[in-house]
Amino acid sequence: MTTSETLDLVNSPEHIERLKENMEKVDQLSKKLVEIMATRKGHHPGLDGPNQELFARAASSYWAEMLQNPAKMMEQQVEYWGKSVLNFAEAQQALAAQTVAEAPAAKPADRRFGNPMWEQNPYFHFIKQQYLTNAETIRAAVDEVGDLDPIDRHRLSYFSDQIINMMAPTNFLPTNPDALEKALETEGQSLIDGLQNLVSDLEANNGELVVRLADESAFEIGSNIATSPGEVVYRNRMMELIQYRPATETVHEIPIVLFPPWINKFYILDLKAQNSLIKWVTEQGYTLFVVSWINPNGDYADVGMEEYVEEGFLTAINKAKEICKVKQVNAIGYCIAGTTLSLTLALMKKRGDKSVKSATLFTALTDFSDQGDFTPFLQNDFVDAIVEEIGEDGILPSYIMARTFSYLRANDLVYGPAIRSYMMGETPPAFDLLYWNGDGANLPGKMAVQYLRGLCQGNQFADGGFELFGETLHLKDVDIPLTAITCETDHIAPWHNCYMGVQQMGGRSKQFIVSQSGHIAGIVNPPSRNKYGHYTNDDLKLSAEDWMKGATFNDGSWWPRWEGWLKKRSGKQVAAREPGDSNNPPLEAAPGQYVRIRAND
């Protein structure tokens, strides 16, 4: 909208009258909002930020530095004052001249400030410049804080960045030109629609604010996502086991059992035909079983890693062997399921169970000595708060984990979507990946604490041993042929951390692959797209840095390379198998019942 068009609207009496009427509707919706928040159960405040000791230590260190080196601190303050005064002077000049000078070319582009008014309007230009000055000054002050250990420094940097992102002028209606322009254009209807979106999101999550990222009405599980044909051939309280229909006349004798993470749903690997790993695997001539985990409620409070291993992993492996009448399977574990598959393989080694011929790990951490981006959340104050949040209900609600992951990319996954939905009144996009991202799962309290305390904090699998079923399990116990697929820009399971775990595994036949892109796109990377390449290097004795320096870059998806490796471990060709057998008849069509259970059901 141009300035003249904006003035025409502002000077129109009819437009102003309709705007006032709509603002009265906004007031009514605001009252509804207050009612929802009044009945909100809430969550443990320790999940919203670190305890005050961190900030106290930082403040004490900053104060000590100021006393010891006051000249340096004054220099910083004077520099901040100078920049602020220059910002104000520039705004005054612009107001007088009714124009704004071009922003310095050295300043990085920021998608939040894409509206031309951030440069052309003196008011918005000053707000933006002062915000960037404030952000720069806060980050510089954090960098100057001494006498903090690396973990505290990491946490202080992270939480200061969260404050900086939260206070961006784009997050507030009076200082967001996009939202203000749309409010004028729509006579306030965009604000009404936005508040309705906000009320809807709060009601859907019992008063907790979880920004809806996708238009949920655009998708139906089993109809336009998760549509690969198959049958549920087994069900217990922990999982449904889906056997997919063959796509070839013959198949490899040894079947595949795929374990997805239980933090999210399995259909990330079957969003649509064009990028479905599940469909592609069956087309390569394999019998494929996929576990669909239960979305637990309070009845699962006492379920731990033991139940996931015994009633999930081991049961699925044994059922696949029984149905296919074979002695071994090839197993795949994705993310937390890859971590747990590794524990399961170590346990099977202790028991002398050779049911798994080879294993494939997708973005799976097994050595947690470097906590990476999750360092701020894996300290005792946060984990203690999670334990208290689990409390009597015995369940860690899905939104806690979803929020944690989202705030690692807050501008893209929190503030940007919130602005579009709540300020602009836009309907979220019909994007299948974002729909899946919002379809999270609760976690049993016992399992969550075991995972956080024993693996993430204690790093027991790599250091000292993880206790399970009376056995002490070590990474070196994982000694079967293995391929690990990791992703170059993965911030959830950084590839170099995954590499450290694979290095410590005991097998002699190990393949390590780094795909381009991140935690999802690097895995869901079909050959037909020819989008992301991958890195390979057979020398796993090198440091992660040297491994990458010496790696070969390969164009295209890693899928065919992995399939070539798997084929050698999958036996002869046999007649294609229909799902189930006489002892395990099909119970219902894929994708089954469990995948349809929502976190709030």
Return the pLDDT at 72: 52
* Residue 28 resides in a domain: no
Residue written as tokens 């340096």? 72
Do residues 488 and 550 both lie within one domain? yes
Half-sphere exposure at residue 520, Cβ-oriented, CA atoms within 13 angstroms: 16
Report the percent of the chain where pLDDT is more than 90.
Answer: 59
Q: What is the pLDDT of residue 506?
A: 95
State the chain's mean pLDDT as an integer. Answer: 87
Q: What is the pLDDT of residues 440-494, one digit of tens each?
A: 999 999 999 999 999 999 999 999 999 999 999 999 999 999 999 999 999 899 9
Sheet arrangement for strand 288-293 = 552-554, 534-536, 510-515, 482-487, 356-362, 329-334, 256-259, 288-293, 239-244, 230-235, 588-589
Pairwise CA distance, residues 488 & 324, whole Å: 36
Same domain membership, residue 246 and residue 167:
no
**Could you give the C-alpha distances from 46 to 161, 273, 447, in angstroms and in order?**
18, 43, 20
Is 434 a member of any domain? no
Higher pLDDT, 557 or 25: 557
452 and 324 assigned to the same domain = yes
SS3 content of the chain, % helix, strand, coil (to 5): 50, 10, 35
Sign for the CA dihedral angle at 81, 87, 90, 92 comes to: negative
Q: Which neighbouring-strand residues pair with 292?
A: 240
Query: Cα-flanking dihedrals φ and ψ of residue 207, to 5°?
Result: 90, -10
The Cα 192–Cα 424 span in angstroms is: 9
Residues 255, 179 within the same domain: no
Residue 254, domain member (yes or no): yes
Alpha helices in 258-369 (DSSP H): 277-283, 305-307, 315-324, 336-351
Instruction: Note whether 33 and 202 are within 8 A (CB).
Output: yes
State the pLDDT at residue 48. Answer: 62
Residue ranges of E strands in 356-433:
356-362, 395-396
Does pLDDT of 332 surpass 70? yes
Residues tagged active-site: 335
pLDDT band of 112, cuts 50, 70, 90: very high
176 and 241 together in one domain? no
pLDDT of 193 above 50: yes
H or E stretch including 536?
Answer: strand 534-536
What is the per-residue pLDDT for 371? Answer: 82
**Mean pLDDT, rounded, for 375-387:** 85
> Can you tell me the mean pLDDT for 362-378?
89
State the DSSP string of 137-177: HHHHHHHH--S--HHHHHHHHHHHHHHHHHT-GGGSGGG-H
254-264 confidence digits (pLDDT tens): 999 999 999 99
Q: How far is CA 154 from the centre of its chain?
A: 20
Of 185, 220, 255, the residue that ends a domain is 185
Range with the poorest average pLDDT among 158-162, 175-179, 267-271, 502-506? 158-162
Q: Are 205 and 601 in contact (CB under 8 A)?
A: no
Let me know whether 330 and 460 are in one domain: yes
Q: Which of 156, 185, 214 is the last residue of a domain?
A: 185
In 39-149, which residue ranges form alpha helices assigned H by DSSP? 52-68, 70-97, 117-120, 122-144
483 lies in some domain: yes
Of the pLDDT bands very low, low, confident and very high (cuts 50, 70, 90), residue 105 is very low
Q: Which of 289-298, 394-403, 414-423, 487-496 has the least mean pLDDT?
A: 394-403
CB 426 within 8 A of CB 420: yes
Mean pLDDT of 140-163: 82
> What are the tokens at 328?
């071994």
Asked if residue 6 has pLDDT above 60, the reply is: no
Summarised one tens digit per residue, pLDDT across range 499-553 is 999 999 999 999 999 999 999 999 999 999 889 999 999 999 999 999 999 999 9
Structure tokens at 53: 């000791």
Query: pTM score > 0.85 for this model?
Result: yes
Residues 526 and 580 in one domain: yes
**17 inside domain:** no
Type and span of the H or E element at 534: strand 534-536
**Across 44-48, 167-171, 276-280, least confident range:** 44-48
Q: Mean pLDDT lowest for which of 9-23, 296-310, 432-446, 451-465?
A: 9-23
Q: CB–CB of 177/184 below 8 Å?
A: no
Q: Are strands 482-487 and 510-515 parallel, antiparallel or unpaired?
A: parallel
Q: Are residues 177 and 86 in the same domain?
A: yes
Residue-by-residue DSSP string for 266-297: GGGG-SSGGG-HHHHHHHTT--EEEEEE----
Query: pLDDT tens digits, residue range 552-585?
Result: 999 999 999 999 999 999 999 999 999 999 999 9
Residues 172, 249 within the same domain: no
Query: 185, 216, 241: which is the final residue of a domain?
Result: 185
Let me know how long the chain is: 601
- Segment 88-95 shows an average pLDDT of 66
Q: Before 591, cis peptide (omega within 30)?
A: yes
Whether 488 is in a domain gets the answer: yes
Check residue 17 and give its pLDDT. Answer: 72
Distance between CA atoms of 286 and 576, rounded to whole angstroms?
9
* CB of 199 closer than 8 Å to CB of 36: yes
* Residue 250: half-sphere exposure toward Cβ, Cα within 13 Å: 7
Say if residue 122 is in the same domain as residue 248: no
Domain assignment present for 195: no
The secondary element (H helix, E strand) that includes residue 241 is strand 239-244
- In this prediction, residues 205-221 reach a mean pLDDT of 88
The predicted pLDDT at position 51 comes to: 59
pLDDT exceeds 80 at position 8: no
Given this model, what pLDDT does residue 13 score? 65
Q: Is residue 2 part of a domain?
A: no
What the block records as the tokens of 438 is 């919002």
Say whether 581 sits in a helix, a strand or coil. Answer: coil
**Looking at the 3D structure of the chain, how many domains does it have?**
2
Q: Kindly report the CATH number assigned to the domain that includes residue 384.
A: 3.40.50.1820
Same-domain pairing of 146 and 241: no
Nearest Cα neighbor of 477 from 507, 508, 455 is 507
User: What is the spatial distance between Cα 231 and Cα 152, in angstroms, rounded to a whole number?
Assistant: 50
Q: What is the model's pLDDT at position 52?
A: 58
Domain identity same for 138 and 71: yes
The predicted pLDDT at position 15 comes to 62
Give the mean model confidence (pLDDT) for residues 266-283: 97
Q: Is the pLDDT of residue 67 over 50?
A: no
Q: Which range of residues forms the domain containing residue 506?
A: 230-397+442-596
Q: What is the mean pLDDT of residues 222-238?
A: 97
d(C-alpha 586, C-alpha 572), whole Å: 26
The one-letter amino acid at 454: G
Q: Cα(591)–Cα(242) distance, rounded to whole angstroms?
A: 7
Give the helix/strand (H/E) hosting 514. strand 510-515
